[in-house]
Structure 1
Amino acid sequence: MSFIKKIPVEDVKHFVPLVANAYPGLNMSEEKVREAFLKTQTEDLFSDFYGYYRGNQLLGCMKIYDFSMNLYGTKVLAGGLGTVAVHLLHKKEKIAKELVTFFLQYCREKGACLALLYPFRPDFYKKMGFGYGTKVNQYRVLPDCLPRGKSKENVFFVTEAEKENLLACYRRFMEKTHGMIDKTQGELDALFENKRHWIAAFKQDGQIRGYLVLEAQSAHEENRFFNDLHVKEMIYESPESLSELLTFLHSQLDQFQRIVFNTQDEDFYHLLTDPRNGSNRMIPSLFHESYVSGVGLMYRVINLKNLFSQLTLRRFGNQSCTVNFKIRDSFLPENEKSCVVSFRDGFPRVMDHSEAEVEVDLDISDFSSLMMGSVSFKSLVGYGLVKLSDPACLSRLEQIFSKQEKPVCTTTF
């Protein structure tokens, strides 16, 4: 008989080899895995490790997070999934499927409307109903190709004495940015405990108004003086704070070969005098490679009515239309229901008994990406991923979903 439960601390001896064998590329010592597990299970208020047991044998595990996320200006509860691991001798026994099913049901019971994860394989989780989020673009920029402003006199290195000041800056940014997840005290502590990190910040009137989390990394196997500077996190609240932070990076020309940015900002290349990344590759006919791009964070709507009920203050364009969303969700049958939503001047309201003007039929993965703003309704229609009962409503539906913000997330888990 199999079951899933929160892993008790006495099972650490089974947990450590399970995770170490599942993630050999992380090069984490068994002691580090042990410490992380015990800290999570005894101290962390926002996450727990759960295990898949067959009898008394631990054959799989996962870490479940309770996140507070900005969804178009509304703080909502969202579930996060990480550290999914299955015993090497018990692969292909659908243990991962049972773990994910438990996770989704756990999130629904907690009242969350969304679930999210970083996939080890996007196709694996796409089949389970997760949709793609915003891509990350990695730029490798020569320091002197960054804009040089008038000053960097308000930039300083942050110490632990400014920890709460930094957190306040992050939370102001989070409250204004769709997709951002609240930073917990544990995450903040970990930021300062990592001795490889430098944190450069812009301060104005006693408040931190922007910051960079930086890490130097070798850029040459045989030359220890050949290094790149990686921007692990970049938060800014104003053009002034961004200007001084980029001026600071510009001044690092004599020490670092390139500044490496991982950003979800699709317009970032407009900041640069030369966006080329040093690969010297050309894309026909005459396009210079400026960044590499990756699909990462994936989202899943797990309760349609709950989702729209929390977005009553969100204006979807300015159109009026009553829509019956017919969502295909074979992985989570309790979510495979029609949901009638009345948009009036763009504001949504779930209707229990109402006749719809149009039925919109699509898969839960694509619906999740649509609702997060990662893909446009127009694109989904063009790709044949949406079916409409009345094509005459297409223009109104395109306008309802035309001004979606793409989600931004700097939280790793």
Structure 2
Amino acid sequence: MPVRELTTSDAAAYRRLSALAFGGSAGEDPGRPFSPGLIPMGIDSTSLPGGAEGVLAAGAQIREDRVTLAGGTVACGGIGGVAVHPAHRAGGLFRELMTAVLARCTHEGMAFSMLYPANVAIYRALGYQVVTEVGFLRVPLLDLQRLRPVPDRRTVPVTAGSFERVRALYRELTAGDNGMLTREGPLFGTELPAEPWHALLLEDGAGTAHGYVSFTRTGGDDGVGLEVHELLGRSREDRRELLRSLGTWSTVTETLRLRLRVEDPVLDALPGGRARHDPQVMPLVMVRVTDTAAALTARPAPAGLQGALRLEVDDAALPAGTTAAAGAWRVEIADGAVRPVPLPDSGATDGAQDLPAVRLDVHAASLLLIGGRSLADAERLGLGVQADPAARTLLDALLAGPRPAVMDQF
């Protein structure tokens, strides 16, 4: 069952497969080229018994993303559109396809792979680990209307000419996070998102930008008249002023739905306790480490942190050599940088055997290396962790920071 990269000539077959798997149609122009920034992979139906010409037995796409790592960034393969034709299911194609996809992520220099799973169990068997979720909150607009104005702040419309200010604020305000997409091209263009998307920029009297909020006015069929996609501000007061601006919608609708990061700072700016979790499905986010050394190197070390430890990662979920997740390293931390030095085997006699050691299975490594979680968190989940006390303290300090959060679009 050879897995290959798809070309423009395969686009129509892939879109028919996607429509079959997820519903809808292949569109008016199913043969249009794949978008830049995507690596489509697939298996031909003709490679299987009873297969047909012009049909894909399985397919997936790898997004060429980057994510934040507490002040650094690293390449990440976002996986989407994974589908297996109903005529070829239950024959191992899913694992065959995903093994090749993860190998390609590694080949492309991606330290992680990330996805929103419809089925957690099938991806967990491949080494993926749930690391975060996307939350939604319903907020009564009357609560926001009562907020007092913040001095020296005004909201202005976001236009095609000012959208770059929003993009710059997003980069600045999420740079210290773990797991946030950097939203770079070619997957993310510089053009203003299409209506009905709108946004307001918060600035002071001198015109300096302090935050923004993006939203869509909806029909309110489920009681929600405003979908708030994102609210970011430099300070608590800036976030409160943006919330106050949303309160002006109370004359035409009663409730907004606010998309949240994990431990979102906006929660501390809400004025009352009448907000409630929205009953819609809460998307989970799974991550898999594909290159342990690259993940370590990309993360800046906290100021003043120094030391060394031995790190071993076991990856029994995939055939040996599929990714660069497994191995042993002497991890040196000094001068704000992390330097993982590969060790040939567990019996190396270069002094690394005398270092405090941490041994992780691939699920624990995936949870921890994206940042913001501790070894105790991994142990609480029942993941594979063995650690000397000194190594535990050092690795926890290195990987500290906000819990990982992912928000896909503005």
Equivalence map 1:198-237=2 (5 Å): 198-204=198-204, 205-206=206-207, 208-220=209-221, 227-237=224-234
Find the aligned partners of 1:292 and 1:277 in 2 and give their Cα distance: 15
Amino acid at match of 2:315: R
Query: What is the match of residue 284 of structure 2?
Result: 296
Give the number of equivalent residue pairs. Answer: 388
Q: Report how far residue 109 of structure 1 moved.
A: 1.2
Q: Which of residues 321, 330, 340 is equivalent to 2:317? A: 330
Match of 1:410, SS state, is coil
Equivalence map 1:252-267=2 (5 Å): 252-266=249-263
Match of 1:10, SS state, is helix
Query: What is the match of residue 409 of structure 1?
Result: 406
Find the aligned partners of 1:348 and 1:206 in 2 and give their Cα distance: 39
Match of 1:75, SS state, is strand
Query: What is the match of residue 283 of structure 1?
Result: none
Equivalence map 1:14-413=2 (5 Å): 14-24=13-23, 27=24, 29-31=25-27, 34=30, 38-39=32-33, 41=34, 44-55=35-46, 56=53, 57-146=55-144, 148-151=147-150, 154-185=154-185, 192-204=192-204, 205-206=206-207, 208-220=209-221, 227-266=224-263, 268-277=266-275, 294=282, 296-311=284-299, 313-315=300-302, 318=305, 320-334=307-321, 335-343=325-333, 348-351=338-341, 352=343, 353=350, 354-388=352-386, 390=388, 392-393=389-390, 396-397=393-394, 399-400=396-397, 403-411=400-408
Q: Report how far residue 399 of structure 1 moved.
A: 4.8
Q: Report how far residue 295 of structure 1 moved.
A: 5.1
Percent identity, aligned pairs only, is 21
Change in CA separation of 1:141 and 1:181 when aligned onto 2, cut-off 3 Å: same
Q: Report how far residue 32 of structure 1 moved.
A: 5.8
Find the aligned partners of 1:93 and 1:134 in 2 and give their Cα distance: 31
Q: Report how far residue 408 of structure 1 moved.
A: 2.7
Change in CA separation of 1:177 and 1:207 when aligned onto 2, cut-off 3 Å: farther
Match of 2:353, SS state, is coil
Q: More deviation in 342-351 or 119-128?
A: 342-351
RMSD: 3.2
Q: TM-score, normalised by structure 2?
A: 0.82
Amino acid at match of 1:134: T
Q: Deviations over 1:20-66 (max 9, x none)?
A: 11111xx4x432672xx725x2xx43213222214354111111111
Change in CA separation of 1:10 and 1:328 when aligned onto 2, cut-off 3 Å: closer
Q: Report how far residue 201 of structure 1 moved.
A: 2.0
Change in CA separation of 1:229 and 1:186 when aligned onto 2, cut-off 3 Å: farther
Change in CA separation of 1:122 and 1:321 when aligned onto 2, cut-off 3 Å: same
Change in CA separation of 1:127 and 1:343 when aligned onto 2, cut-off 3 Å: same
Change in CA separation of 1:251 and 1:186 when aligned onto 2, cut-off 3 Å: farther
Change in CA separation of 1:165 and 1:295 when aligned onto 2, cut-off 3 Å: closer
Q: Deviations over 1:313-357 (max 9, x none)?
A: 323984635223242333152233233324469964323342243
Match of 1:202, SS state, is strand
Find the aligned partners of 1:33 and 1:99 in 2 and give their Cα distance: 26
Change in CA separation of 1:187 and 1:156 when aligned onto 2, cut-off 3 Å: farther
Contact 1:319 1:345 in 2 (8 A): yes
Contact 1:117 1:299 in 2 (8 A): yes
Q: Report how far residue 10 of structure 1 moved.
A: 2.8
Amino acid at match of 1:215: T
Contact 2:69 2:371 in 1 (8 A): no
Q: Report how far residue 298 of structure 1 moved.
A: 1.5
Q: TM-score, normalised by structure 1?
A: 0.81
Change in CA separation of 1:32 and 1:64 when aligned onto 2, cut-off 3 Å: farther
In structure 1, the gaps of 5 or more residues are 279-288
Change in CA separation of 1:401 and 1:172 when aligned onto 2, cut-off 3 Å: closer
Change in CA separation of 1:158 and 1:32 when aligned onto 2, cut-off 3 Å: farther
Q: Deviations over 1:358-378 (max 9, x none)?
A: 443332122111122353212
Change in CA separation of 1:330 and 1:175 when aligned onto 2, cut-off 3 Å: same
Contact 2:307 2:394 in 1 (8 A): no
Find the aligned partners of 1:395 and 1:337 in 2 and give their Cα distance: 18
Match of 1:150, SS state, is coil
In structure 2, the gaps of 5 or more residues are 47-52, 344-349
Change in CA separation of 1:233 and 1:191 when aligned onto 2, cut-off 3 Å: farther
Amino acid at match of 2:202: F
1:5 aligns with 2:1: no
Q: Report how far residue 199 of structure 1 moved.
A: 1.7
Find the aligned partners of 2:378 and 2:290 in 1 and give their Cα distance: 20
Match of 2:99, SS state, is helix
Q: Deviations over 1:123-168 (max 9, x none)?
A: 2211111122222222111113237231596212222232333322
Amino acid at match of 1:306: A
